[in-house]
Amino acid sequence: MIPLNGVFVTGTDTEIGKTMVSAVLISHLKESRPVIYWKPVQTGIESDDDTKTVSRLAGLHDGDIHADGIRLEKPLSPHLSARLAGTKFSVADIIETLPSEHSDAFWVVEGAGGVLVPLNDDELMIDLIEALRMPAVVVSRTGLGTINHTLLTVESLRSRNIDVSGVIMNGDANPENLKAIEKYGELKVLAQIPFVEPLSRESIAAEGRKMELPF
């Protein structure tokens, strides 16, 4: 595997806004460089296709997407969804879906659930992030509880020597939580994105234009 140039978008929980944030990041980045989106593991694929959602919201073409990966029917933790499907997969299996050669495009890779969600009996999502050797962007809520959840996620990543590029917060502005995460996490909150309604290519692009990123 050629090391990927890009970031791994993870979160403090499921349904935290990783897909929307991935679309915003791509909308911002593609103005200055080629970008490839990849969802390595997707559960609940019949009703929840994050690849299609990001493609629509960020205005991607087929060549901007790496579509290969683990696709499972039940909308559950990957290890359980795989077990109910009568199959199993490993981090090595995921890595094998990557092309042996690729351009110098910037990859935005979106995880499933949080960093400690199990992929199988022995491996967690954090093992995939570590194997890909990519820095992480942590997506978190703005409300009560986010300081603890965000700092725990950041600590887990750093325990594996995974660089954390920063945090992106979703929801109503909460300056005190933002300042606490920056202070105690010793990192930067890259953006605080309000609830975007309606979700459209235009609204996603508008949020992307507000960003200033370190990568």
Determine contact, residues 26/37, Cβ cutoff 8 Å: yes
Residue 55 lies inside a defined structural domain of this protein: yes
Note whether residue 26 is domain-resident: yes
Q: Which of 39, 74, 88, 188 is catalytic?
A: 39
Residue 36 lies in a domain: yes
Give CA angle at 111 (52, 74), nearest 5°.
Answer: 70
- Asked whether residue 1 is domain-assigned, the answer is no
pLDDT for the residue numbered 1: 59
CATH number at residue 108: 3.40.50.300
215 within some domain:
no
**pLDDT value, residue 4:** 85
Phi first, then psi, for residue 114 (nearest 5°) are -95, -175
Catalytic residue at 39? yes
Domains identified in the chain, total number: 1
DSSP helix/strand/coil, 143? coil
Q: Name the residue range of residue 48's domain.
A: 6-209
Q: Could you say which residues of the chain have pLDDT below 70? A: 1-3, 102
Domain membership flag for residue 197: yes
Rg (CA), the chain: 16
Residues 6+ apart with CB under 8 A from 212: 190
Q: Give me the pLDDT at residue 196, please.
A: 87
Tell me whether residue 183 is in a domain: yes
pLDDT at 209: 95
pLDDT tens digit string along 182-198?
999 999 999 999 988 89
